[in-house]
Chain A
Amino acid sequence: MAQIALATGFVLILAGLYGALTNRDILRMIVAFTIADTGVNIVLVAVGYLPGRTAPILDAAVPVAEAGQRIIDPVPQALVLTAIVIGLGITALMLAYAYRLFRLRHSLDISTFTELKW
Chain B
Amino acid sequence: MIRHVVVALLVALLGIAFWTLTAGYLPDAELNRTAAYYAAHAQDEVGAPNIVTGIIVTWRGLDTLGEVTVLFLTSAVIALVLTQSKTPAGATGAGFLPSGELLTTGTRMIVPLIVLLGAYVIMNGHLTPGGGFQGGAILASGALLTLLAEPTRRFGHSVIARVESASGLTYVLVGLAGMMIAGGFLDNGILPLGRFGAMLSAGAIPLISVLIGLKVGAEFSSILESLHETEDA
Contact = CB atoms under 8 A, between A and B. Distances in A.
Interface of A: 2-3, 6-7, 10, 13-14, 17-18, 21-22, 49-51, 55-59, 64, 67-68, 71, 73-75, 77-78, 81-82, 84-86, 88-90, 92-93, 95-97, 99-100, 103
A95 B77 CA distance: 12
Nearest to A39: B18
Given A56-B51, A75-B34, A85-B216, A7 B42 contact: no
7 contacts: A14-B18, A56-B51, A67-B39, A68-B36, A78-B55, A82-B63, A85-B67
B18 A57 contact: no
B29 interface: yes
What is the interface of chain A mostly: helix, strand, loop, or mixed?
helix
Interface residues of B, number: 59
Contacts of A21: 7, 10-11
A7 to B, nearest CB: 5
Most chain B CB inside 10 Å of its own CB: which residue of A67, A85, A93 = A85
A75 B35 contact: yes
Nearest to B82: A96
A10 B31 contact: no
B85 interface: yes
Contacts of A95: 227
Interface string B158-187: 000000000000000000000000000000
Contacts of A51: 27
Contacts of B148: none
A58 B43 contact: yes
Contact of A58 (B49, B71, B77, B220): B49
B208 interface: no
Nearest to A74: B51
Interface in B78-121: 78, 81-82, 85
A24 to B, nearest CB: 10
Nearest to B67: A82
A14 B17 CA distance: 11
